[in-house]
Amino acid sequence: MSIEVKNIQKQFGEFTALDNVSLSFPTGELVALLGPSGCGKTTLLRIIAGLENPDGGVVHFHGEDATHVHVRQRQVGFVFQHYALFRHMTVFDNVAFGLSVRPRGKRPDKKEIAERVHDLLKLVQLDWLADRYPDQLSGGQRQRIALARALAVEPKVLLLDEPFGALDAKVRKDLRRWLRRLHDELHITSIFVTHDQEEAMEVADRIVVLNKGKIEQIGTPDEVYNNPATPFVYDFIGQVNLFHSRVNEGWAHIGEIKLPAPEHPQVRDHAAVAYVRPHDIELQALPGEGFISAVIDNISTAGAVLRIELRHALADDVIHVELPRSQERLLNLHPGSQVYARPTNSKIFLQNR
């Protein structure tokens, strides 16, 4: 089922949580709402679920106005950050809850409910835990049970609020791959909220980047990472180096060197910021055209890539560089040694006066 929100406005006292947000979520996609805390992503999710009322704007489910439909009738599956499993019920009763509270006419009989619950527990690979209580489970197991419980009512939409936020790093990684596979199996329209850009990149079909109650960019993980629409997105997704520069007729000048700025051909002498990813910088031992003279300040070899911090004459900030480990042998990389750096890819954003 497709979801559409139009001109959503939400205010908490003086604080604007959502400012005129319009978005559509196509059927069967897994979409991530990504942003820093306080950007309005959870509020948007709760408005879609019907747990919060917007001050203005409408929510459409499959083309029909659902703004004033009660949570009960919306048929959304909601997974909470801290699971919200009913502690006094066994895993089985938790998953069966949505079916057992149905009005008598629509309620499946006991045998049917038991079958459905066991099918769902098998789907989340935890059918051997049916008789346990939630506090006897690990965090990852609880989250999977919470998902099974949400799926039991056959929701048309699945909404997940920071589903992996309370888990440790290893479980998180396993669980998000598992969620991706599950989604590929079920193809249920899903929206999940996260502040972790890596998580959004790995799991989502599309990413909506939010900041201060407004949408910064909508796109596939690839588009958002490689072609950030705004400086905020550039900054928020992945590490980035900033260079203050002046743009003149398609070129950004940073001290001695210049970077191409083909998107601003008409601009004359305008302040701008150049954004360069750490892995879009090459190093060499000898000076060359367009290379910045720099000294290695720090070097970290713990991890899949070499992380290097460079001091240079253009600014006080260090330049962060990431190189493949194979470069370790080719260059003389020690703190204090002289190198020459050149951005191979950059994006220039003009600064507002």
Is residue 149 a contact residue for other proteins (CB under 8 A)?
yes
**Nearer CB in complex with other proteins: 78/275:** 78
Work out how close the CB of 7 gets to other proteins at its nearest, in angstroms, rounded to a whole number. 24
**Is residue 145 within a helix (H) or strand (E), and if so which, with residue range?**
helix 139-152
Contact between 136 and other proteins by CB under 8 A: the answer reads yes
Which residues are within 8 A (CB) of 69 and not within 5 positions of it... i.e. 6 or more apart?
Answer: 50, 61
Contact status: 84 vs other proteins (CB under 8 A):
yes
* Size of the chain in residues: 353
By CB under 8 A, name the one of 2, 80, 318, 331 that touches other proteins.
80
Q: Which of 68, 88, 111, 268 binds other proteins (CB under 8 A)?
A: 88
Q: How far is Cα 246 from Cα 58, in angstroms, rounded to an integer? A: 43
Residue 122 within binding range of other proteins, rule CB under 8 A:
no
Size of the site for other proteins (CB under 8 A): 32
Q: Is 132 in the site for other proteins (CB under 8 A)?
A: yes
Assigned token pair, 278: 């750490």
Sheet bearing 64-65, strands edge to edge: 15-25, 3-12, 56-61, 64-65
Identify the bridge partners of residue 293 per DSSP, sorted by sequence position.
Answer: 340
DSSP annotation of 348 reads: E
Looking at 90-98, 223-231, 268-276, 300-308, which segment touches other proteins (CB under 8 A)?
Answer: 90-98
Instruction: Give the interface segment with other proteins, choosing from 79-87, 283-291, 311-319, 332-340 (CB under 8 A).
Output: 79-87
Q: Where are the beta strands (DSSP E) in the chain?
A: 3-12, 15-25, 30-34, 56-61, 64-65, 76-79, 157-161, 189-194, 206-211, 214-219, 241-248, 251-254, 257-260, 270-276, 281-284, 292-300, 305-312, 319-324, 338-343, 347-350
Sign for the CA dihedral angle at 185, 189, 193, 198 comes to: positive
Least distance to other proteins from the beta carbon of 118, Å?
Answer: 14
Mask for 152-181, x = binds other proteins (CB under 8 A):
xx----------------------------
Per-residue contact flags (x/-) with other proteins for residues 265 to 304, judged by CB under 8 A: ----------------------------------------
Q: Least distance to other proteins from the beta carbon of 151, Å?
A: 11
Site map (CB under 8 A) of other proteins, residues 42-71, x = contact: -------x-x-------------------x
For the CB of residue 193, give the shortest distance to other proteins in the complex, in Å. 14
Question: Is 273 within 8 Å of 245 (Cβ atoms)?
Answer: yes
Q: Does 72 bind other proteins (CB under 8 A)?
A: yes
Distances (CA, A) of 343 to 139, 209, 227, 284, 324: 43, 26, 16, 12, 16
Q: Which residues bind other proteins (CB under 8 A)?
A: 49, 51, 71-72, 74-78, 80, 82, 84-90, 97-98, 101-102, 128-129, 131-133, 136, 149-150, 152-153
